[in-house]
Chain A
Amino acid sequence: MTERTIAVDYLARVEGEGALHVRIHDRTVEEVELRIFEPPRFFEAFLRGRNYTEAPDITARICGICPVAYQMSSCHALERALGMHVGGTLRDLRRLLYCGEWIESHALHIYLLHAPDFLGYPDAIRLAKDHPDAVKRGLALKKTGNAIMRVLGGREIHPINVRVGGFYRCPAREELEALRVDVEAALVLAEETVRFVAGFPFPAVEEDYEFVALRHSEEYPLNEGRIESSAGLSIDPAEFDGAFEEVHVPHSNALHSVRKGAGSYLVGPMARYALNHDRLTPRAARVAREVGLEPVVRNPFRSVLVRAVETVFACEEALRLMDRYRMPEPAWVEPPPFDHPTHGAAATEAPRGLLYHAYDLDAHGAIRSARIVAPTSQNQKRIEDDVRHLVERSLDLETPALTSACERAIRNHDPCISCATHFLDLDLVRE
């Protein structure tokens, strides 16, 4: 009987703080626990009693990496509660803002957090010494995503221009026009990114995922759509609670999500692409074909390639939306007066996957209860499954190599632990 212990204090290059604990007895993997130590911040508790108009700014603070996702999911959920619909140019502007966040967040993950794994560096700064052009390309892409958020949202982290019903102020056409040169350049950089990451060495692995993502009748999904799964689920976001449940496990400050009667599932770029590759914009579809990206990607290491293709989509979609933009008047739809308690739920596609919000409001517009299900808490159980399979396949690896392989398996899914609540320190026990 062998016994080995590995402890890495803190998983690096993920957003937030978590630990992985793996226990191997003889040659059996007994336990895999992705431990989220990120201290709880109790958003659902202190949202109670706040006016519904405050939810977009408050929930943005759940995550500095994807604040727009929180603003969008809260606005859509609250608008459904209020019985209002925001369409036309305001809808386009929301989509454009979301494209900015996708570009920023995907570029951050691809270049600063994930590429070092494939190329054998501890970080992008040391990677830049040998591959300066690649890192500069990543930073330029990221900067353009941020620029879109700054023009539309006022700033890139916790934008200030989003409100229930639309925006406080819509940009003049010239303000968006000034972004065009950079977004056109970003589209080319994003295509180069797909070719760049297609050259990474990918371990040959296939996982049997149930993919869950939004699907829209016409578009690659951002703000709206039905929640569908590769196993045939198709529901309105309002029916989320009927199909999914959250389980609180002792080792984590995040709640685990499972599909009722089915178990773990995966949200995020691989899921969106698997269910919506037919809705990609032309250049995104073309570059995906050029590098031989299969229509359904089941190798988690190739998620970086899907993220790159989605970055091309986000640049292309941003240009399309900017092209047809005419400044709307007014900048927001006034919510109808209401005099009775109401409820609304919605889901949008955060860079890391499906983000569900649900609110109960009292007759004065105060929030009575709020429920938020973040992408990483939905993926947490599925990430544990990936790690379990990886360890089972790799029992003969020396412990340091196995440890770093486990960390990579986690980073494949770009977990955002500040969303799920957070802290990753790796603790591998072999008995």
Chain B
Amino acid sequence: MPLPHHPKLAVFKFASCDGCQLTLLDCEDDLLAVTTRLEIADFREASSWVLSGPYDLALVEGSVTTPSDLERVAEIRAQSKFLVTIGACATAGGIQALRNFGDVDEFRRAVYAHPEYIRTLATSTPIRDHVPVDFELRGCPIDKGQLIEVISAYLGGRAPNVATESVCIECKRRGQVCVVVAHGTPCLGPVTQTGCGAICPGFHRGCYGCFGPQDTPNTVSMVRKLSELGMDPPAITRIFRTFNAMAPAFRAAGDAAEKEAVP
């Protein structure tokens, strides 16, 4: 299908830190170029100029956490021809999905003096649990280069070239020393999707999984390795239950480690 002459871009937000939409503004060298190819139709963080839908390309940040989000996500889907979710909140429920393992009413009482003022759902869920999504871009936060790739691919009418292999592959390609082999540092690199540039091992620390599971993660073997490296079951549960806790492979690994912890 040919693209419109000047496709309309919209950026929407649900529960999130704003970091993934900020990534677009952080594309300092490409921002003005992008705006010559796309018309910014609705991007509240950057503009008070708002055009009504439908939109050609929608970037959606954040997770669904309130009753009104449920209606809004359906409206956004109806207005958007190509909908891309950006970041761990939108693709896996984000850090706020830790409520899914607890009691949200108790959370509400713990943080607010008047919990009755706060309207929230019991869970934080990714956008695709509610509406069909055309492409998911991972990361907490997303990577600038991958965001530009997704936009360029859209403009070029092709599929985005975004790798789904493990962080290890990128780490090797960069010629970095393996922190597990050399230092015995626990690292989620083998089960985590690449995209960040393998920065944690590059800074001598283990990967903590902010891009979520790679396409063929062997988490059973990973849990065993983490245990050999000295992590106890509660620590293993916590490392999988951080920024992508509800991504299915990480969720299963965290649950399995939790069962070990509670005999």
Contact = CB atoms under 8 A, between A and B. Distances in A.
Contacts, number: 184
B19 A64 contact: yes
Q: With a 10 A CB-CB cut-off, give which of B43, B95, B203 has the most chain A CB atoms.
A: B203
Contact of B46 (A44, A57, A125, A407): A125
Interface residues of B, number: 64
B120 A124 contact: no
Contacts of A418: 16-18
A353 B47 CA distance: 24
A140 B31 CA distance: 12
A231 to B, nearest CB: 26
B154 interface: no
A42 B107 contact: yes
B33 to A, nearest CB: 11
A331 B183 CA distance: 15
Interface stretch (B186-194, B204-212, B221-229, B251-259): B204-212
**Range of interface residues on A (Cβ < 8 Å):** 35 or more
A294 B13 CA distance: 39
B256 to A, nearest CB: 19
B130 interface: no
Contacts of B14: 39
Interface in B16-51: 16-23, 25-26, 28-29, 31-32, 35, 40, 43-50
Given A41-B15, A42-B111, A45-B110, A123 B22 contact: no
A283 B17 CA distance: 34
A270 interface: no
Contacts of A112: 25, 46
Given A61-B17, A122-B49, A248-B117, A39 B199 contact: no
25 contacts: A13-B47, A14-B45, A15-B22, A15-B45, A39-B14, A39-B66, A40-B65, A40-B108, A45-B99, A45-B110, A46-B102, A54-B238, A64-B17, A64-B18, A65-B19, A108-B22, A123-B46, A123-B47, A125-B46, A126-B49, A139-B31, A143-B29, A155-B141, A155-B199, A157-B141
Interface of A: 10-17, 38-46, 48, 50-51, 54, 57-58, 61-65, 67, 108, 112-113, 116, 122-126, 128, 135-136, 139-140, 142-143, 146, 154-158, 160-161, 163, 167-169, 247-250, 253, 255, 331, 407, 418
Q: Which 10 A-B pairs have the closest CB atoms?
A: A64-B19, A123-B47, A122-B49, A12-B48, A45-B107, A46-B98, A248-B113, A154-B199, A143-B28, A64-B17
